[in-house]
């Protein structure tokens, strides 16, 4: 049965209403001024038309109040648009600190996702309703774009870097996931779904799924297999700096520059260790490019994130 044409996708996240409200405000302002200009052009064309061949219009020297009005009002509207848009942008760019983290890897032509407890999915993501979810995303090949219309989120997924996005679903259901960057011959088939479940149903789904190794545990195993533990000792006395409590802190380089130890910094340090050498250490770390894929890099990062002060004694043992 025909149910009519939906002007916008349904709203199913906490930020969807704010994004739509900003869109409608921009459309309303644009339509108002477009209509006003059309009417004024028509009225002035008729009112001030030349009535005789020899008619000369009288000189107009301008009006300061009128010029102030048509300057201040548009400026005020533009500043409202800027401030409102900036607030929406920064809110969408700042995931809550307690958000559930999910790693996302785009690949021709599928989405590979992994939950904090190790549960893996392809072209599907199960999440609980009412819980903020942070997506840490990268690509194995070309640029993709993670787009969920019902949540009003769209983020490019770029090879060689990490981008983040977040959402908090407001109602249970299934919502379409698309790639909106042309990424090759099967781009149109790179689709998936977000399955939003009630918290109890989500927990049951987790328990019923195939148990997997958590990203942090997999990262710890890779850390040992690649020989990283022989240089990065917990006490900092190895040939490489200690990684305990590293994530999220500033690191001083040999160039005296300070950089933030985030996902991108760790990724670059693994693949191109000489790009940013930590002060006090020689540039002797080999590159692991070609030895580890994007999923492995995400697992190494998850492991380093887990190395807080409370894990120091455990690591030393």
Strands 124-128 and 191-197: parallel
pLDDT in tens, 39-79: 999 998 888 888 877 777 777 777 888 889 889 999 999 99
Query: From CA 111, how far away is CA 130, in angstroms rounded?
Result: 23
CB 81 within 8 A of CB 25: yes
Per domain, the residue ranges of the chain are 100-208, 215-316
Using left for φ > 0, alpha for ψ between -120 and 50, and beta otherwise, residue 62 falls in: left
Q: What is the CA radius of gyration of the chain?
A: 27
Query: From CA 246, how far away is CA 255, in angstroms rounded?
Result: 19
The distance of Cα 178 from the centroid of its chain, to the nearest Å, equals 15
pLDDT of residue 82: 96
In CATH terms, the fold of domain 215-316 is Cytochrome Bc1 Complex; Chain D, domain 2 (1.10.760)
CB 87 within 8 A of CB 78: no
pTM of the model: 0.76
User: Above pLDDT 70, what percent of the chain?
Assistant: 94
pLDDT of residue 240: 85
CB 239 within 8 A of CB 281: yes
Q: Do domains 100-208 and 215-316 have the same CATH topology?
A: no
CB 154 within 8 A of CB 146: yes
Positions in the chain whose pLDDT score sits under 50 = 1-4, 312-317
pLDDT of residue 211: 62
CB 166 within 8 A of CB 101: no
- Cβ count within 10 A of residue 131: 16
- Cβ count within 10 A of residue 194: 22
pLDDT of residue 97: 87
CB 279 within 8 A of CB 254: yes
pLDDT of residue 63: 82
- Cβ count within 10 A of residue 30: 10
**Count of residues making up the chain:** 317
Strands 258-260 and 100-107: unpaired
Pick the CATH number of 100-208 from 2.60.40.420, 2.30.110.10, 3.40.190.10, 3.30.479.10: 2.60.40.420
CB 157 within 8 A of CB 22: no
- Burial label, 173 (beta-carbon count in 10 A; 0-12, 13-18, 19+): middle
Query: CA of 264: how far to CAs of 101, 103, 138, 303, in Å?
Result: 16, 14, 10, 15
């Amino acid at each position: 049965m025909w149910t009519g044409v939906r002007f916008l996708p349904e709203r199913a996240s906490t930020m969807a209403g704010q994004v739509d409200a900003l869109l409608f405000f921009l459309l309303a302002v644009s339509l108002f001024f477009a209509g006003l200009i059309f009417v004024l052009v028509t009225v002035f064309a008729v009112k001030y038309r030349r009535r005789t061949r020899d008619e000369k219009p009288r000189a107009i020297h301008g009006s300061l109040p009128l010029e102030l009005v048509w300057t201040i009002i548009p400026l005020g509207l533009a500043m409202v648009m800027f401030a409102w848009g900036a607030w929406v942008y920064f809110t969408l760019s700042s995931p809550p600190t307690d958000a559930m983290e999910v790693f996302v890897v785009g690949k021709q032509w599928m989405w590979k996702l992994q939950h904090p407890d190790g549960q893996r999915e392809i072209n599907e993501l199960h999440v609980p309703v009412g819980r903020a979810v942070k997506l840490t995303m990268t690509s194995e090949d070309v640029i993709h774009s993670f787009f969920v219309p019902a949540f009003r989120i769209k983020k490019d997924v770029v090879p060689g870097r990490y981008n983040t996005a977040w959402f908090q679903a407001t109602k249970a259901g299934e919502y379409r996931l698309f790639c909106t960057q042309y990424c090759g011959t099967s781009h149109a088939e790179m689709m998936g779904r977000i399955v939003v479940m009630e918290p109890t149903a989500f927990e049951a789904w987790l328990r019923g799924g195939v148990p997997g190794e958590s990203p942090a545990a997999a990262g710890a195993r890779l850390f040992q297999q690649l020989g990283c533990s022989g240089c990065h000792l917990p006490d900092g006395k190895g040939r490489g700096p200690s990684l305990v409590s590293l994530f999220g802190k500033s690191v001083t380089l040999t160039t005296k520059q300070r950089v933030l130890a985030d996902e991108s910094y760790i990724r670059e340090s693994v693949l191109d260790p000489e790009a940013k050498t930590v002060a006090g250490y020689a540039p002797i770390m080999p590159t692991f490019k070609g030895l580890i894929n994007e999923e492995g890099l995400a697992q190494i990062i998850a492991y380093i994130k887990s190395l807080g002060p409370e894990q120091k004694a455990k690591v030393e043992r």
